[in-house]
Amino acid sequence: TDRKKLHTAPVRQVFRLRPFHVLVATGGGYAGYRKYKDYKLEQLEERGIEVPVRLASEWEVALYKSVPTRLLSRAWGRLNQVELPTWLRKPVYSLYIWTFGVNMKEAAVEDLHHYRNLSEFFRRKLKPQARPVCCVHSVISPSDGKILNFGQVKNCEVEQVKGVTYSLESFLGPRISTEEMHFSQAPPGNSFQQQLVTKEGNELYHCVIYLAPGDYHCFHSPTDWTVSHRRHFPGSLMSVNPGVARWIKELFCHNERVVLTGDWKHGFFSLTAVGATNVGSIRIYFDQDLHTNSPSYSKGSYNDFSFISNNNKEGIPMRKGEHLGEFNLGSTIVLIFEAPKDFKFNLKAGQKIRFGEALGSL
């Protein structure tokens, strides 16, 4: 009578797969398949073969989003901060250097034993003379990377790669009030694009730069301008490599991003740092209140922060080439700015560019 009953569950219940596990496994497998397809497309591009555009359907995007990339990116960030034993540092970093073609001769500290963890290695600084800043052209590249697209913004749509666009308003969010920005008062009936243009005869231009894992991960001010406002969009952290950018429409609008807006001598100017898989950490040096890739967020939400206050009527002045921020691994920088009609880009799509080199000028 004192014996206790032992309750056992059927084997099928013990090994029952939950919907979440199935979704993650399926999504992860599909993401791996997409990575392989992207690799094949890049090989075709290198051989000069034009690849037709095939956009992802809604269910494919939803399946990709089911992969817990935000959670994985936070885990990756913590792993990067684990201090490596001195004897292990050179083999680990050497493998990374060989895999992604890192040029350590440009690093301020070439000794691999100096970097205590992967995070320090990713964010390594360069020798002062490694990236001379172009003084002739008015806009320079803010980072190392690959030019995905550039040109005029037309019909409130911006190209992320050739033939694949996203909405300008969805990307930047609602127009900031004229009290916070030095914008002219545009008629309410004008399009979002027209409202951003402050001077008659000017046009809106854009440039997209993709930072690969082997690139220098800091980014700098592309011109002399004043940053007045920051808008942070929490979101997904899907890959932003050229293959995925060609496959998912409005990819940059889905992903987490930090939009810095302000003005330069020709009017409106903005720089957006777009997050990606394993790049949940976006840091802006003068913005200590910014925290990216938080565990929870409301879908479609964003938060604003103004750098204009009673004590600072102008905002944050930035000089061309000045340190602005950094990624934890590599991602994408999007510039959207106003300039006169005779502004010309000195670029071609697909070219490699380094921080300090010219993007364009008048």
Radius of gyration in angstroms for the set of CA atoms belonging to the chain, rounded to a whole number: 23
Query: Token pair of 139, please?
Result: 């806009």
Torsion, Cα 29 34 37 42, to 10 degrees, reads -140
226 contacts 314 by C-beta, under 8 angstroms: yes
| Active-site residue set | 144, 220, 331
